[in-house]
Amino acid sequence: MKKGLKRGTHLTGQLPKLLDVYPTIIPPLNPEFRPAILVDHNYQDAVKESGKGVPLVIGIERENGLISRFETEILPPKNNADSFNATLLYVDRLVKFLLWARGGWKLYIGGPREIGDYLRNGYAQDGLHSFESNLMSRIYEKPFEVVSMKASDIPAEKQMESSLGGHFDGCRIGFDLGASDYKVCAVNNGEPVYIEEMPWNPKVEPDPSFHLNHIKNALEKAASFLLCVDAIGGSSAGIYVNNKVMEASIFRSVPEEIFDKQVKPLFLNLEKKWGVPFQVINDGDVTALAGTLSLGKNAMLGIAMGSSEAAGYITSEGRVTGWLNELATAPVDFNPNAGRHEWSGDYGVGAQYFSQAAVDRLAGVAGYSFPSGMDLPERLKYIQGEVENGDQRAIQIFETIGIYLGYTIPYYKEFYDFQNLLILGRVTSGTGGDIIRAQAKKVLEKEFLELAREIELYVPDEKSRRVGQAVAAASLSRRL
């Protein structure tokens, strides 16, 4: 976490009765799970039954004047104290999800004055969500604002007009920067002519020349397999805005003052050096793009369950949106006493449900213990081995995650228009992954049958997992 980014003191305690909704299928290792989708449905049913719903329109502005909108209805603030408290928490979690999914520096609130006041206080420098407001200010390089207005005055939706991805004409280079290895490829008119995967350990390196030299050498080697270079594309974990590195785990050891001067413009400088279209985006979006290209299907949401939860989204038109898609920090569980995210400090967010950390936390509930020096990948591998041995405790870990996923897919559908779901990452490997998918399908078929018929779940093959992102990244930019 960069200096100056303060964690908020997030909500705890007891849920308002209106929001305290149990699932029909209870996760065996987390009976207190309160799925956001069920809370949402129960609250919206109450709004409809009251006949007094009032409009709430949420707008979020990000770089280049791009605007996302979300419209809903809420109970009137003066209804009664219990329903007002439920409304505040409902809106709190909704806005938090939208902010991490879309990203932005200005929050427009069209609705009751009390809601605008609550959010303005919450996202103030010393407010409940100061972590988010400070981080968004850093990402978008503007002070975070909350602006209240009439619902009818919220700015119109404005999304990226250009299409990223699917451009394979000419000679291209693609790369993918991971935490333990990086991949690079050379592509000639859609055909990979060179692919290489190389180990590295960038997270412990404080000197950005280490990262730059590895990337430069990889690009130059790939270029040696081509007659020319028409475009370069890359992916990496982190947040990228207009090709600037705003936050990225592979640079976590670089001091802040060096990060701002040398890391933030790193890819802009490489673009100048090569003199060709150069595009770098979040690895989650490139994962979804790789799925779209390999399966020939758009409207794709990709979820990677690795050290954390990564996500990416491709629209029905085959476009990358440029949204943050940081679903690791987006709420999916309304239980106020749920486990807390080590980075944001918030409760009930995706990283605690769809990651190696989720497996580790559930393993403790199931009765497993590990040596303090054993890292998360080794703990996951051990638990996966216990599944293969038929240990019921280990099986329940993956059953629990599968139930989480089954209730979260419909919630993600509230914010992403997808028909295809790509599930990948170490947590989804082997028999444990089969259990996750089976339990997710069970939940969908029992509670969300229409959605179960609409959404297809896919798992990438080994080749796609290993090199697909680099090849997909090569297709990001149009050639000049």
Q: For residues 121 and 255, state if they share a domain.
A: no
pLDDT at position 306: 85
Q: For residues 201 and 284, state if they share a domain.
A: yes
Question: Which regions of the chain are under pLDDT 50?
Answer: 1-12, 463, 466-467
Q: What is the CATH number of the domain that holds 211?
A: 3.30.420.40
| Residue of 329, 476, 359 lying closest to 428 (CA atoms) | 359
Q: For residues 267 and 348, state if they share a domain.
A: no
pLDDT at position 226: 97
Q: For residues 113 and 231, state if they share a domain.
A: no
Q: For residues 266 and 223, state if they share a domain.
A: yes
pLDDT at position 464: 52
**Which residues neighbour 414 within 8 Å (Cβ) at sequence distance 6 or greater?**
37, 40
pTM: 0.90
Q: Residue 142 and residue 145: Cα distance in Å, rounded? A: 9
Q: Residue 177 and residue 199: Cα distance in Å, rounded? A: 10
Q: Residue 287 and residue 312: Cα distance in Å, rounded? A: 7
Checking 206-211 for CB contacts under 8 A at 24+ apart, the result is 206/253, 206/254, 206/255, 206/258, 207/254, 208/251, 208/254, 208/258, 208/259, 208/262, 208/263, 208/266, 211/250, 211/251, 211/263, 211/266
Q: For residues 300 and 413, state if they share a domain.
A: yes
Tokens of 435: 């259990």
pLDDT at position 327: 96
pLDDT at position 237: 84
Q: For residues 162 and 179, state if they share a domain.
A: no
Q: For residues 235 and 266, state if they share a domain.
A: yes
Tokens 């020319």 correspond to 228
Torsion sign, CA atoms 331, 421, 139, 468:
positive
| Other residues' Cβ atoms within 10 Å of the Cβ of residue 109 | 24
The answer to whether 329 and 311 have CB atoms below 8 angstroms apart is no
Q: For residues 216 and 161, state if they share a domain.
A: no
Q: At residue 233, what is the residue type?
A: G
Q: For residues 399 and 412, state if they share a domain.
A: yes
pLDDT at position 9: 36
The answer to whether 248 and 236 have CB atoms below 8 angstroms apart is yes
pLDDT at position 116: 96
b (16+ CB within 10 A) / e for 170-187: bbbbbbbbbbeebbbbbb
pLDDT at position 112: 95
Domains: count for the chain: 2
Q: For residues 73 and 155, state if they share a domain.
A: yes
Which domain does 47 fall in, by range? 1-166+293-480
Last residue in a domain, options 254, 288, 322 = 288
Q: For residues 188 and 308, state if they share a domain.
A: no
Last residue in a domain, options 234, 258, 288 = 288
Last residue in a domain, options 255, 270, 288 = 288
